[in-house]
Amino acid sequence: MSRTLRVSHVGFADESHWNTGRFRSLGLVTTPVDCVDSLEAKLHRLLEESGVREFKWKKLNGAKERFVAIKMCEFAVDVACTGKLRVDVLVWDIQDSRHDVQGRDDLANLQRMYYHLFRNVLRARWPNDAIWRLHPDEHTAMNWKTVRDCLENVSMAVQVERSLFTGGQFRIRLRQEFGIEEIQPLPSDQHPLLQLADLFAGLAVFSRDKYKEYQKWLRASSPQPSMLDEPHDSINPSRASQERFRVLKKFDEVCKKRRLGVSLKTKQGLWTPEPRNPINFWLYEPQHPEDKAPQKGKK
DNA sequence: GTAACTATAGTGCCAGCGTG
DNA sequence: CACGCTGGCACTATAGTTAC
């Protein structure tokens, strides 16, 4: 097609726990197109210096990965403060009214969540005339090929939008509505910005799943660990959890220092009350009683 | 359907280091 | 020197995936 417009912004998307556990999340890292190369280069160097080939939240179980994770957090916060980068993480709870339905179709639901994320980030948080190129992880559950086909096929896309809350295919007019010009899945091992999306998506889920454990751990490792609470605590967290707690703690501290308005306590997990802030943890709330997750076998 | 394989998470052990 | 802490590493259990 000759109508390709000049891409002005780029997004990297990754999902975490899309089909297991209580909390699921979607991470989207966005930046102006002229920043991509330098950001990737810096992150790449950061990984290299730490002797990590590819960062994955799931693989965060040792000190080496912890150091990288903390560096990546600090880096992201730094750049976010200059307005050259946003991190938006959408988290949903499968036990809320929307998701507590029989035979929930998690894959179809994931598509809806992508829609919400796109709608709220691509248009509302960056200039309205931005032209986007998206890079999801290559190994994602989403069938991006189909989505891309919808990009090309305008007529097919029209029916779709109103069916969003009534089921049906994920055929939103991505191009018109969001200015998405291109969707190109990439391998995450070569693209640190995808790994950054993975980090924050993982961190968001973790902060909720393990919030209580995290609080215990904080008390236990505080300057004066009082023997009052948790007399003989049953099991101490696994090694990986401990490493992740340390990352979470550091990230929380950095955010507080930079006044990014990222809360941890209020919602028992990472949450940004003011979504315009550049590091935005967003907890999906059912929009209305009829806002239900799609079910399998229903069209 | 089963069996084998792969990726991942959890656990324990060991070596190096700093400190009292 | 002994002790505790930490990072590195390897082994095991398990779940999910693929092949037959």
Q: What is the DSSP string of A211-247?
A: HHHHHHHHHHTSSS--SSSSTT-S-PPPHHHHHHHHH
Q: Token pair 């280069």 is at which residue?
A: A41
Confidence bin at A232 (pLDDT 50/70/90): very low
| A296 in contact with nucleic chain B (CB within 7 A) | no
Cα–Cα distance for residue pair A142/A147, rounded to 1 Å: 9
pLDDT in tens, A262-294: 888 888 888 888 888 899 998 877 666 667 776
Q: Do you know the residue count of chain A? A: 299
Domain extent listing, chain A: 9-221+237-283
| A209 in contact with nucleic chain B (CB within 7 A) | no
The CA–C1' separation of A58 and B12, in angstroms, is 20
The percentage of residues in chain A with a pLDDT greater than 70, rounded to a whole number, is: 68
pLDDT higher than threshold 80 for residue A130: yes
Higher-confidence residue of A225 and A178: namely: A178
Confidence bin at A1 (pLDDT 50/70/90): very low
Both structure tokens of A194: 């995808």
Q: Please give the nucleotide, over all strands, whose C1' is closest to the CA of residue A58.
A: B8
Cα–Cα distance for residue pair A25/A282, rounded to 1 Å: 9
pLDDT in tens, A9-38: 999 888 776 556 677 788 889 999 999 999
CATH level 3 topology of A9-221+237-283: Nucleotidyltransferase; domain 5 (3.30.420)
Query: What integer is the mean pLDDT of A129-140?
Result: 80
Instruction: Please provide residue A283's backbone torsions phi and psi, each rounded to the nearest 5 degrees.
Output: -95, 120
- Under 8 Å between Cβ of A197 and A150: no
| A163 in contact with nucleic chain B (CB within 7 A) | no
The CA–C1' separation of A63 and B19, in angstroms, is 22
Residue A168's nearest CA partner among A178, A176, A177, A158 is A158
Higher-confidence residue of A175 and A127: namely: A127
Higher-confidence residue of A43 and A95: namely: A43
CA A296 to chain centre: 25
Segment among A14-18, A71-75, A196-200, A219-223 with least mean pLDDT: A219-223
| A145 in contact with nucleic chain B (CB within 7 A) | no
Nucleotides of C under 7 A from a protein CB: 6-9, 16
State the nearest residue by CA to the C1' of B12. Answer: A239
In this complex, which protein residues place their C-beta within 7 A of any atom belonging to strand C?
A 20, 51, 62-64
Q: Please give the nucleotide, over all strands, whose C1' is closest to the CA of residue A65.
A: C7
The percentage of residues in chain A with a pLDDT greater than 90, rounded to a whole number, is: 8
Segment among A50-59, A119-128, A247-256, A261-270 with least mean pLDDT: A50-59
Residues 233-252 of A with CB under 7 A from strand B: 238-241
Query: What integer is the mean pLDDT of A145-169?
Result: 46
- Under 8 Å between Cβ of A247 and A66: yes
- Under 8 Å between Cβ of A131 and A9: yes
